[in-house]
Amino acid sequence: MSFAPADRRRIGISLAALLDALLSGPAYADTPLIDPPSATTLAVNKAAGANAPFTDRRDLDFAARGWLGSRKDPLIRAADGHVVWNLDAYRFTDGPAPATVNPALWRHAQLLARHGLFQVTDCIWQVRGFDIANITFVKGDKGWIVIDTLSTIETARAAYDLVTEKLGKRPIAAIIYTHSHIDHFGGAAGLAGDLLPGAPVIAPQGFVEAAISENVIAGPAMSRRATYQFGMGLEPGPTGTMGSGIGLGSGKGSQGLIPPNRIIETTGTELVLDGVRVRFQMTPGTEAPAEMNLGFPDWKVADLAENANVTQHNILTPRGAVIRNAKAWAEGLSEPDLFSWYGR
């Protein structure tokens, strides 16, 4: 990790403290590097608290709906024992917002801090809060259709183990990658041992090229810039990181892709996966260079990948991802008839 001069000035960091922080790893929040909030920060946060409709608790209700429980051990570890993900890292958000944090950001972190297995519909479950993204399990005739596989082998495995504990052991009959961001495919190898032989592994057109472009060719530069975008190195806390917007942060685990063996190229394509009818909608150049939405016509359920979530859409990312086409993105969300049951 390196700091630009402007960053050193802004957080009042000395060279000695910087060296100490670098050598001691990510425990920055424990070091006295952070100035107390300014009068302006205090005033802005106070005004935000006064103006936001915090008595409206529908988001909290939505985030709790269908919860079936979570993992008993909050620490997800790698084989060598190091902690990949701490489910309790944001428990500090249980109380009211402190003066250092915008109350709306505090509420957002409270929503993201809910973790565990959630039932979405009769046949669809999600494990949330085990990674920056969610992993979805769709019940087929023989096994699970898994939609997106988290960032790391360890968190994907922990999610699958939780599903097995709560819902019983089932093999994986298919994997669908909605798009080419690593938090949606990096953990796939953690599921390989339970993937049925010959099972379809499905991705949108351009997936492999986009994944390699972002994570291998541009990987070193982009991962360096991502340390700024995601506040890597900051500890979770009221004077540290409050999450990454779409999720709470990145796990410190290992990655392994299972290459797709079935590429979706055309909007309207339908497949029957393990007895379940799935319809696809191509949305290239939107939230990712290669992305697709999908739906389950027989259940009137749509999965809008990462094209729709409750955060501000990111058109030009600080980490340097390919610029996103806002018009195509909007059109992808409003394409008529494809998921007409969805009420658009």
CB of 227 or CB of 317, closer to Zn ion: 317
What number of residues does the chain have?
344
For residue 57, the minimal CB distance to Zn ion (Å) is 28
Q: Which residues contact 175 (CB under 8 A, 6 or more apart)?
A: 145, 146, 147, 149, 188, 191, 195, 199, 200, 201, 202, 258
The residue at minimum Cβ distance from Zn ion is 181
For residue 305, the minimal CB distance to Zn ion (Å) is 8
CB of 70 or CB of 244, closer to Zn ion: 244
Quick one: which of 150, 190, 175 has its CA closest to 262?
175
Q: Rounded CA gap, 159 and 127, in Å?
A: 6
Q: Under a CB-based contact definition with an 8 Å cutoff, are residues 187 and 131 in contact?
A: yes
201 backbone dihedrals φ, ψ, rounded to 5°: -120, 115
Chain residues in the site for Zn ion (CB under 5 A): 181, 306
For residue 247, the minimal CB distance to Zn ion (Å) is 10
For residue 287, the minimal CB distance to Zn ion (Å) is 5
CB of 252 or CB of 313, closer to Zn ion: 313
For residue 134, the minimal CB distance to Zn ion (Å) is 11
CB of 28 or CB of 329, closer to Zn ion: 329
For residue 339, the minimal CB distance to Zn ion (Å) is 19
Q: Rounded CA gap, 123 and 112, in Å?
A: 23
CB of 28 or CB of 230, closer to Zn ion: 230
The beta-strand segments (E) located in the chain are 67-69, 75-77, 83-86, 116-121, 124-128, 135-139, 144-147, 172-176, 201-204, 262-264, 270-273, 276-282, 292-296, 301-303
CB of 139 or CB of 181, closer to Zn ion: 181
